[in-house]
Structure 1
Amino acid sequence: MKLYVPHAGHMEGLQDLLACPEDIYAVYMAGAPDYVGTGRTNLSAPGLEEIREQTEYAHEKGVKMEVVLNSSCMGGQHLTPQGFNKINWYFDQLNKSGIDSITVAEPYFVEMLSREYDMEVVVSVLSFVDSPQKAVFYEELGADTIVIDPAVNRDFQKLEAIKESVSCGLKLLVNEGCLYQCPFRYAHFNFFSHANGPGPKLNVLDDYYYYKCLSLRINDPQQLIKSPWIRPEDLKEYEHITDTFKIGGRTHFPNWILNNVRAYAGRHYDGNLMDLLDCPKDIRDLFYIPNKELEGAISQWKRCDKVCIRCGYCKRLTERVVQIYSSEGEQQLLQPLNTERSI
């Protein structure tokens, strides 16, 4: 199994992650937002020299290095002479730094990188590859690997069709904590791409999408179960699709990341599933989902037609296993969940 692990971007964090690198195939981090943005907030923005040093350190540990520049919107800057020259120069410097792969969402970058560089070209989840037809298009553009849209993580018919249609590598994001079929997904990542990319910087009042998404999950906890995560125990169900899995969460601290590495490398987690999900702390600290109680749910999801109004399985599962933390002084108590009321 090839496990891709998030990294905040500074040497100290990388050293913590790779103290015992046996279970880690590759680490990935963001590049400098001055050239191409990313779909997440940057906790750090390593310069080229830092990227080179960290890449060398990872290689010494037998671990590959990937840089993520997966802006979903460049505002057309990459198609201007000045923007193209600036970005092309940065790609050239990354190539010289020795990184093994580069993840992008912009189709133009996929084709450009595949023609001009030897770095492995990875298509980001923010390209939303959710069908065999789209996968073929990206492979023809030059993709070496495609990270499949997590929205189809439980749609095995589509996963198998994608596998059958392309010869490039496939990668699955295992701990996605976002809403299934989120209506804000495109707009939110476009917002992040501009907020965490080249200037001019935005002077926004608030992140509407974040708080709206948060409230939807708090008031309808079924959405937590419907999120397209993959349990560590269920990786075996995906081995005929790929042997390459990605842990999301490069805005988290190394101890959180290492907890995920241990769980997914060991294919077992005895605790709160929320501990593993890449989702806001506000939600992780509110809900308790005993991972062991979800054993066997994958069998239902493999045959599910995803028409929730007819099925109701996730609603029943939520009522049975999801609990809410309540606090009395220093003691944490668990209360059963009633999905018929707001929280």
Structure 2
Amino acid sequence: MNMMTELETDARFVDQFGRSKRKLRISVTDRCNFKCVYCMPEHPEWMKKHDLLSFEELYHFCAFMVHRGIEAIRITGGEPLMRQGVVHFVAQLQNLKPLGLKRISMTSNGHYLKQYAQALKQAGLDDLNISLDSLDADQFKQLTQKDLSPVLDGIRAAQQAGLPIKINSVLMNGINDNQILPLARWSVEQNIQLRFIEFMPLDGERKWSTAHVVSEQQILNHLGTEFTLTQRTNDSVQSASEPARQYFIDGHPLGIISTITNSFCGSCDRLRLTAQGEFYNCLFAPQGLQLKTEIKALAASIPLIELSLHHTLSNYIWNKEQGFHAIEQRLKNQSMDKSSRKISMHMLGG
């Protein structure tokens, strides 16, 4: 990486609404061994392995972004543990902490964690989000086409390794909304923080509708039948950019990510890169930037590529939309087909 001028180093990425970008999500693969309906198409067309950016190329891009204000990197998929070498990538990212990187995280479906949890801890992973949408084995199999037991084993392995954990549960009306209380009870028993997530229009088959959404208020109503519920208001605990609205159930922390009914977009500080170099300034962005060529040039230390890439990203990030509802309204006003977007959750990692 070439030395940058003081001007470049100080030039953090900010959008037109004044939101500084501090978090980068890197999808290292679109492949996943689960087939969750809210994420994976029935017949996915996987990216060809030779089309993926190498971990070395991803590392150079991460270094470039850390020099420009990125403080947290989350490794996602698909299922990131399906890509060989991802543990080494976590270890390599430790080299960026003296440059300003503060946290290295991962989101996983948990299936392979029994095998990898200890190695991830030793590599320096700071925390882990695990998807778990049902504790009912039959329902879990219907949702994912996989068995529940390896995921529960993986969660235990992560706990034993000393990895801080959050559980993410996407709720869908009439499908797994009966899991609100079982998952809440289990999180209290296991002393694990649970986050319920409203179903978002990022499903693989693009069949999303508001009828499928279990709203934050509905979740709270269910929880209130069994738990003493209080809202968490301590600003030192919940940062402005935290997507989950924080609560306590019988004194145990619980979050709800309510993008549809209580959008957190106003303070969004996230950026995203897919495994083959598509860059998105928003989870719902209709269009991304194709950066594969530029990232390869960055890794090869091509002269002036840093200045060029910085200019390209600055313009794209500046034009980030206000949020999910603003994008939905613009598409509606322009009579654009929302299904024309070719990327779904399994390529961006949420």
TM-score scaled by structure 1? 0.42
Q: TM-score, normalised by structure 2?
A: 0.41
Q: Where is the helix percentage greater, Structure 1 or Structure 2?
A: 1
Which structure's relative contact order is higher, taking Cα pairs within 8 Å and 6+ residues apart?
2
